[in-house]
Amino acid sequence: MQEQRNKAQLAATIDHTLLKPDAMKDQITKLCDQAIANSFAAVCVNPFYIEHVAERLKQTKVQPCTVIGFPLGANTSFAKSREAHEAVGKGAREIDMVINIGALKAGEYKFVLDDISSVVNMSGAARVKVIIETCFLTDDEKKVACEASARAGAHYVKTSTGFGSGGATAKDIKLMRSVVGNDLKIKASGGIRTLEQAQDMLDAGAARIGTSSGIAIIESLME
């Protein structure tokens, strides 16, 4: 049975997202204005736009968020850490980084830990959310990814980029919660387009919802 949430409670969980490669500045501006009007948690964009977003959201409670090593996670640790450092310097207050999926699947667990740590260390006071891309992982690999994220000092684990072969599921949220407990929060992202899907993820233990359908979700709640 779904927990009933009012508009303010639901809006406070939404990372209003536009990560398409053809996104233009006027669309990003509109994204920010929608987030401000609805009191969303954050606006999540590609690094190219983070300075514009930070300026647009200045003096609001909406957090400027960007993605690092996105969407494949196969960048070098040096590149990811420098990308994060630059983003924070341009106003990012939340960093969503993609793990090195191939390294994890190959059992290179120390590398995965160090890769996450390199981004955390260069992100300063910004919150770091670690995208583990669940669609490519076994349950055991998901657990290892969550454990590494916690050890590295991240603040969240996140299900998906939205660019993989699958997105967030309530089952994965529950699995991730069983590993991180209350030490880390969970962001559900990837394929969340309806109010029912968003509520299911929150009921399963997610604290944030990454979606490009935030307006439609909120409007559905108000109907």
**Element of type H or E holding 130:** strand 127-131
| Structural domain total, the chain | 1
- On whether residue 187 sits in a domain, the answer given is yes
143 labelled catalytic: no
In the 8-state DSSP scheme, what is residue 134? G
Give me the pLDDT at residue 1, please. 63
Cα 215 to Cα 69: distance, rounded to the nearest angstrom: 27
| CB 197 within 8 Å of CB 159 | no
- On whether residue 1 sits in a domain, the answer given is no
Give the pLDDT means over successive 10-residue stretches in the chain (223 positions): 85 98 98 98 98 98 98 98 98 98 98 98 98 98 98 98 97 98 97 97 98 96 76
115 labelled catalytic: no
Taking the model in full, what pTM does it have?
0.97
Catalytic residue among 80, 129, 185, 187: 187
Q: Report the CATH number at residue 100.
A: 3.20.20.70
- On whether residue 167 sits in a domain, the answer given is yes
Catalytic residue among 15, 96, 115, 172: 96
Residue 118: both structure tokens together: 């390199």
- On whether residue 94 sits in a domain, the answer given is yes
Cα 83 to Cα 87: distance, rounded to the nearest angstrom: 6
- On whether residue 68 sits in a domain, the answer given is yes
Give me the pLDDT at residue 4, please. 79
Cα 80 to Cα 98: distance, rounded to the nearest angstrom: 9
Give me the pLDDT at residue 204, please. 97
Q: Rg for the chain (alpha carbons), in Å?
A: 16
- On whether residue 145 sits in a domain, the answer given is yes
Q: Report which residue type is found at 154.
A: A
Cα 63 to Cα 53: distance, rounded to the nearest angstrom: 9
- On whether residue 2 sits in a domain, the answer given is no
Range of the domain at 135: 7-222
Catalytic residue among 80, 129, 158, 185: 158
- On whether residue 170 sits in a domain, the answer given is yes
158 labelled catalytic: yes
